[in-house]
Amino acid sequence: MRSVEEQQARVAAAAVAPRPVRVAIAESQGLMCAEEVVTERPMPGFDQAAIDGYAVRSVDVLSVGDGAGEISLPVMGSIEAGARTPSRLQPRQAARVQTGAPMPTLADAVLPLRWTDGGESRVRILRSVRSGAYVRRTGDDVQPGDVAVRAGTIIGPAQVGLLAAVGRDRVLVHPRPRLSVMCVGGELVDVSRSPGTGQVYDVNSYALAAAGRDAGAEVNRVGIISTDPRELRETVEGQVNRNEIVVIAGAVGGAAAESVRTVLGELGEMEVSRIAMHPGSVQGFGQLGRDRVPVFLLPANPVSALVVFEVMVRPLIRLSLGKRQPMRRVVQARTLAPISSVAGRTGYLRGQLMRDQDTGEYLVQALGGAPGASTHLLATLAEANCLVVIPSEVDEVRTGETVDVAFLAQRG
């Protein structure tokens, strides 16, 4: 039986980022930049007022507060943000300016409105101002030749803003990996139909597709596929040729799963093995097609399938996106009730994570992890906001003991 860490290492070794594509900056958020974005012009491109007030020569107001008496200056006009006509300030003059307005020639500072009486034709100065105060100089933020966004940076709101500020409407990025999700099982019917005797709804293709989107993938939900060898091969081969990751649920147990694995073996390397984890210990992984695309075989049980997806598939998606930390955030929490696990296997048990308002301590209540409880209840998974991780050498956790807990909330 292979350990969880060994299987995760095998999966991680197969991670390949899709080829870079150029997208509009509005569509680049959350993706990894694939180029060095070098600025061609300074930002800001001109000296501008950083605050509403009066543009002045600082030397004209130096004596304010030195006992030289009141100083007032004539106001030569008003300059608005976006003004395109150059203006020039004469000695011992002021100009009313808006935030972002171009500074008039000779002016080297802006007096905030609160340091004046707000006069229109003549302004009384209440405080002096030093040269350069409240002025954004040309190139203060970025100089020509500076790197605005580096390759390998995950593009967030600040990077999108900077790309816009330097005049870039498109940027080269590593796109979201394409994920195909499909299910096999003669008992399955789509949610648009009413199940007959012995039939159940196809839960997995919908749940796993949602999990893929949550992880950051571009998802194609194929749904239920035929197990006829010829049709199955055509379907899987087509999905392998157009996606970076393929997930097939319901292909690791029973006679039907055996025939599926036989067909997949014709397309490349596929191994079904027991992993020292629960739920979902029986699972498959391989690389199929000419590009050796990672393909996962997941259990038919929806809870087991989602847990295996969380532990094995999601980190691969995050690595393909270029995330430096592909795993969920883990904290330590004190248990509120006993938790049982399977000896020799790492347990990933659903739970509700809380925080003590007085102490700040994390507390966790296992859902379905009490002695004798089922691990296959989808309703409890929907209630969970975390997975309680129980080491393989532990089969019983007592109330009040500390355990590792992985957040399930989307963290980007």
Per-domain residue ranges for the chain? 4-18+176-321, 22-43+147-174, 48-136, 330-407
CA 73, CA 346: separation in Å to the nearest integer? 77
Residue 411: pLDDT band by 50, 70, 90 thresholds?
very low
pLDDT at 2 over 60: yes
Mean pLDDT of 26-46: 88
Mean pLDDT of 387-401: 93
Residue 369: predicted pLDDT: 47
- 330-407 has which CATH code? 2.40.340.10
Question: Residue 1's Cα: distance from chain center in Å?
Answer: 33
CA 163, CA 150: separation in Å to the nearest integer? 11
Residue 381: pLDDT band by 50, 70, 90 thresholds?
low
Q: What is the b/e burial string over 328-361, where b = at least 16 CB atoms within 10 angstroms of the residue's CB?
A: beeeebebeeebbbbeebbbbbbbbbeeeeeeee
Residue 248 class from Cβ within 10 Å (0-12 exposed, 13-18 middle, 19+ buried)?
Answer: buried
CA 160, CA 226: separation in Å to the nearest integer? 44
- Mention every residue, 6+ apart, whose C-beta is less than 8 A from residue 326: 12, 314, 315, 316, 317, 318, 319
Question: Residue 394's Cα: distance from chain center in Å?
Answer: 33
Say which range, 77-91, 223-237, 281-295, 364-378, has the weakest mean pLDDT: 364-378
Find the radius of gyration of the CA atoms of the chain.
31
Mean pLDDT of 320-330: 84
- 4-18+176-321 has which CATH code? 3.40.980.10
Residue 223 class from Cβ within 10 Å (0-12 exposed, 13-18 middle, 19+ buried)?
Answer: middle
Amino acid, single-letter form, for residue 323: K
Q: Domain 22-43+147-174: which CATH class?
A: alpha beta
Give the residue with greater pLDDT, 363 vs 260: 363
Amino acid, single-letter form, for residue 98: Q
pTM (whole model) above 0.85: no
Residue 373: predicted pLDDT: 47
- 48-136 has which CATH code? 2.170.190.11
pLDDT at 187 over 80: yes
Running DSSP on this structure, what letter comes out for residue 312? I
- Mention every residue, 6+ apart, whose C-beta is less than 8 A from residue 230: none
Chain segment 290-303, per-residue pLDDT in tens: 999 999 999 999 98
Mean pLDDT of 90-107: 94
Mean pLDDT of 363-371: 72
What residues does 324 pair with on adjacent strands? none
Residue 249 class from Cβ within 10 Å (0-12 exposed, 13-18 middle, 19+ buried)?
Answer: buried
Largest CA distance in the chain: 99
Q: What is the b/e burial string over 81-111, where b = at least 16 CB atoms within 10 angstroms of the residue's CB?
A: eeeeeebebeeebbbbbbebbbbbeebbbbb
CA 110, CA 56: separation in Å to the nearest integer? 6
CA 363, CA 352: separation in Å to the nearest integer? 8
DSSP 234-301: HHHHHHHHH-SEEEEES-SSHHHHHHHHHHHHTTEEEEEEEBSEES--EEEEEEETTTTEEEEEE-SS
Residue 17 class from Cβ within 10 Å (0-12 exposed, 13-18 middle, 19+ buried)?
Answer: middle
Express the helix, strand and coil content of the chain in percent, nearest 5 each.
20, 35, 45
Percent of the chain with pLDDT over 90: 60
Please give the C-alpha separations between residue 271 and each of 15, 218, 251, 280, 404, in angstroms, as whole numbers: 17, 26, 12, 15, 30
| 43 token code pair | 């930002």
Mean pLDDT of 388-396: 93
